[in-house]
Amino acid sequence: MATYTKHHCWSLLLRLFHWMFALSIVFLVVTGFYINDPWTNTMIEGSAAWPMANMRYIHYLAAYVFSAAVAIRLFLYIFGNAQERILDILPVTGRNINNLFMTLMQYSYISDKHDERLGHNILAGLAYLFTFIAAIVMIISGFYMLFPEAPFWEGWGLALFGSQQFARYLHHILMWWFMIFAVIHIYLCVWNDVKEPEGLISSIFTGVKFKHKA
Amino acid sequence: MADTVNNAVEPRLDRRGFLKGCTMAAAALGLSEAMIPKMVEAAASAERPRVIWLHFQECTGCTESLLRSSHPDLARLLLDIISLDYHETVMAAAGHQAEQNLHETVDKHPFLLVVEGAIPTKDNGIYCKIAGKTAMDILKTVAPKATAIIAIGTCATFGGVQAAAPNPTGAVGVQDLVSGKPIVNIPGCPPNPVSFLGTVLHYLTFKKLPALDKLNRPLFAYGRRIHDHCERRAHFDEGRFVENFGDQGHKLGYCLYKVGCKGPETFSNCPAVRFNDVDVWPVSVGHGCVGCTEPNFWDTMTPFYERLPNVKIPATGIIDSADRVGKTVLGVTAAAVGIHAVVGIGKRLIKGKSEE
């Protein structure tokens, strides 16, 4: 019978970030699909249903939550606790490179060995970092489309995307990354929870993980 | 109104037409009524600015739309307030005489340069030659001596159809070749003549070019999205869409968003100024905007009847809509996840549960 000790892993701010990010993405994807291809048609004139106006309104509200979440994550990458800082997930130290290798071996069923560490494994950390960068592109392209005449967004939007239409195109394609990411993310969290009973899933609610007693 | 008595042939511009043209330009510029006399005075001054109009890779549609506007006063006003020293379509001179006019103005006088058409740059620009010289060479000689340059039409501003992928002649707009000169871009295919006239009159009245956006387009004409001034906008917000051309929604004048209108990503004054003095523009007659005032519109706004460009995956020949590609990738991901889970379960069944 293995014995475990309780470790505080995720700060309240990180958990807040996670759920703001996850829930806003759900709303953004659903309303985003509607905005791109409105599947309803208001047949009765004068019904004042305003489905497109409402969907866009929800999309913008969710977008502000999403932007705030990304700002929180940026803060935590720099000022967070040991597990939350960016250096913890970059394959720049021997220990981290080894963890990346071992995670790949374990995920491909080649090895059963699990590199025990408190925070993200490096593969997950890199996937989150990529998603974080994709989120920043979504924010810039989104605000460029929302405020095309504001000099700040016009300047950044034109420099990065060249035109409104290309920003829209990129915004749409990157949305698929968030859906693909969600599928893999949820699957691997469950998978890890099955493989290693360290309380991975509950840790994003409680902030606490369990580790083998040394 | 149609020009039934052929007023366009009458070379003189009457006072009424002159004032109407100036007022129209003032309205497009968003100037107050008090500015109109000043503009009229500037336009009527004896010293007419010299203009050289160069044609490169183009269809002459911009010139045609300017000269053949149903309201002939606009074109006549323009020809009256400027001294058009060189314009291949309308000049009387030909051959060496025309060339001489060009060189005399370039060498001896200050002038405004108007460029219509893209400039091919590939293979030293041999794909467009006039009088034995390439478009690149002509621009290189003329542009540095101009006081200011107006690039008219999408070809001269962003390369236009010639610059569409794969851009076989390496066509570019004026701003890609000329630096150190004030350049005003008046894109459109064709642009509204009022936007061009407004820019010229602004220059004459205030001795400077109008305020520009970051793509060097005058803000008075390109400061707003078409979508934000569209007469069908209420249908968009209310979710009333044309599903197919000719359906009931189309007959009732609903929003053209679902049949590919690019109004939400295009900047122009079309809904406000409209064309040909008969108050029409594409959306008002039931066709979506194709986004002709935007950079690379032939590449990014096509297919014209879809919302987004297709995804092209290099080396596979796959060209499909972003959503179908996305669904496929998501499906493959889900399948991979399923296979991964099955392999894990299989391995456990074979090797037995590991001890914790």
Q: What is the pLDDT of residues A9-56, one digit of tens each?
A: 999 999 999 999 999 999 999 999 999 999 988 877 778 889 999 999
Contact B239 A112 (CB under 8 A): no
Report the C-alpha gap between A39 and A18 in whole angstroms: 30
From the CA of A43, how many Å to the nearest CA of chain B?
7
Chain A nearest C-alpha distance from B322 (Å): 6
Give pLDDT tens digits for B93-144: 888 999 998 999 999 999 999 999 999 999 999 999 998 999 999 999 999 9
Closest CA to B30 of B184, B275, B221, B187: B221
For chain B, give the mean pLDDT: 87
Please give the class, per CATH, of domain B226-309. few secondary structures
Whole-angstrom distance, CA of residue B115 vs CA of residue B139: 9
CB contact under 8 A, A50 and B322: no
How far is A10 from chain B, CA to nearest CA, in Å? 25
Residue B234 Cα, gap to closest chain A Cα (Å): 9
Alpha-carbon gap, residue A80 to A5, rounded angstroms: 23
* Domain residue limits, chain B: 7-222, 226-309, 313-351
The answer to whether the beta carbons of residues A125 and A87 sit under 8 Å apart is no
Facing residue for B300 by CB, picked from A47, A165, A197: A165
Q: Which of B187, B193, B269, B276 lies closest to B226 in space, CA to CA?
A: B269
Predicted pLDDT of residue B43: 78
Q: Please state, in angstroms and rounded to a whole number, the distance separating the CA atoms of residues B137 and B154.
A: 21
Tokens of residue A72, six digits: 């929180």
The minimal CB distance from A184 to the residues B239, B300, B337 is found for: B337
Q: B196 or B43: whose pLDDT is higher?
A: B196
Q: Which residue has the higher pLDDT, B356 or B206?
A: B206
Determine if the peptide bond prior to B303 is cis (ω within 30°): yes
Residue of B nearest to A57 (CA): B237
Q: Are B338 and B331 in contact (CB under 8 A)?
A: no
Pick from B61, B302, B296: nearest CA to B160:
B296
Note the residue count of chain A. Answer: 214
Chain B: closest CA distance from residue A116 (Å): 14
Residue A142 has pLDDT above 90, yes or no: yes
* pLDDT cut 70: percent of chain B above it: 93
Q: Nearest C-alpha of chain A: how many angstroms from B345?
A: 11
SS3 A97: helix
Instruction: List pLDDT tens digits, range A57-69.
Output: 999 999 999 999 9
Residue of A nearest to B223 (CA): A149
**Res B321 pLDDT > 90:** no
For chain A, list residues whose CB is within 8 angstroms of any CB belonging to chain B. 2, 36-38, 40-43, 45, 47-53, 107, 109, 112, 145, 148-149, 151, 154-155, 158, 162-166, 168-169, 172-173, 175-176, 179-180, 183-184, 187, 191, 197
> In the prediction, which pLDDT does A87 show?
93
Judge: B296–A176 Cβ closer than 8 Å, yes or no: no
pLDDT, tens digit, 9 for 90 and up, residues A47-92: 888 999 999 999 999 999 999 999 999 999 999 999 999 999 999 9
CB B220 within 8 A of CB B29: yes
Closest by CA position to B191, among listed B73, B273, B95, B310: B273
Q: Which residues of A touch B291 (CB under 8 A)?
A: 165
Facing residue for B356 by CB, picked from A151, A168, A197: A197
**pLDDT of amino acid B5:** 55
Residue A152 has pLDDT above 60, yes or no: yes
Spatial separation of the C-alpha atoms in residues A155 and A152, rounded to whole Å: 5
Q: What share of chain A is helix, strand, coil (3-state, %, to 5)?
A: 70, 5, 25
Q: Nearest CA of chain A to the CA of B72: how many Å?
A: 34
The pLDDT of residue A197 is above 70: yes
pLDDT at B311: 86
The CA–CA distances, whole Å, from A186 to A180, B119, B334 equal 10, 53, 11
Q: What is the pLDDT of residues A92-133, one digit of tens each?
A: 999 999 999 999 999 998 888 888 889 999 999 999 999 999
Question: Which of these, B102, B70, B104, lies nearest to B88 by C-alpha position?
Answer: B102
- Residue B77 is predicted with a pLDDT of 74
- Which of A51, A52, A172 lies at the smallest CB-CB distance from B322? A172
Residues of B in contact with A180 (CB under 8 A): 329-330, 333
Cis status of the peptide bond prior to B190, with omega within 30 of 0: yes
CA dihedral B331, A102, A195, A191 (to 10 degrees): -20
Q: Is the dihedral of CA B301, B302, B308, B312 positive or negative?
A: negative
Contact between B241 and A180 using a beta-carbon 8 Å cutoff: no
Whether the predicted pLDDT of B88 surpasses 50 = yes
Contacts of B347 in chain A (CB under 8 A): 109
CATH (one of 1.20.950.20, 1.10.760.10, 2.60.40.420, 3.40.640.10) for A4-36+52-212: 1.20.950.20
Q: Map out the domains of chain A as residue ranges.
A: 4-36+52-212
pLDDT at B233 over 70: yes
Contacts of A179 in chain B (CB under 8 A): 326, 330
CA distances from B141 to B146, B157, B281, B313 (A): 10, 19, 38, 42
Contact A164 B215 (CB under 8 A): no
Taking the C-alpha atoms of residue A189 and residue A169, their distance in angstroms, rounded to an integer, is 31
CA of residue B192 relative to chain centroid, distance = 9
In this structure, what are the phi and psi dihedrals at residue A10, rounded to the nearest 5 degrees? -105, 130
CB neighbours of residue B169 within 10 Å: 20
In the structure encoding, which two tokens stand for residue B147, read together? 């006081």
d(CA B173, CA B136): 11
Q: Residue B294: its chain A contacts at CB < 8 A?
A: 163-165
Topology classification of domain B7-222:
Rossmann fold (3.40.50)
Would the CB atoms of A169 and B241 count as touching at under 8 Å? no
CB pairs under 8 A between A and B: 112
Query: Which SS3 state, helix, strand or coil, does residue B142 take?
Result: helix
Contact B341 A191 (CB under 8 A): yes
8 Å CB contact of A49 and B238: yes
Q: How far is B334 from chain A (nearest CA, A)?
A: 7
Closest Cβ–Cβ partner in A50, A176, A180 for B237? A50
Would you call the peptide bond into B49 cis, given omega within 30 degrees of 0 as the criterion? no
Angle of helix B193-206 relative to helix B15-29, nearest 10 degrees, comes to 90
* Sheet architecture: strand order including B83-87: B83-87, B50-55, B111-116, B148-152, B183-186
Does the structure show a pLDDT above 90 at B92?
no
For residue B356, the model assigns a pLDDT of: 46
Contacts of B163 in chain A (CB under 8 A): none
**Pairing between β-strand B183-186 and β-strand B171-172 as defined by DSSP bridges:** unpaired
What is the pLDDT, as a whole number, of residue A13? 96
Decide if B240 and A166 are in contact by the 8 Å CB cutoff.
no
CA–CA gap between residue B211 and residue A22 (Å, rounded): 43
User: Under 8 Å CB-to-CB from B354, ≥6 apart: which residues?
Assistant: A112
CA distance B264 to A57: 16
pLDDT tier at B12, thresholds 50, 70, 90: low
Q: Which of A45, A162, A183 is the closest to B330 by Cβ?
A: A183
What are A169's two structure tokens?
């195109």
Q: Helix (H, G, I), strand (E, B), or coil: what is residue B58?
A: coil
Q: Which of B296, B333, B339 to mutate to test the interface with A (most CBs of A within 10 A)?
A: B333
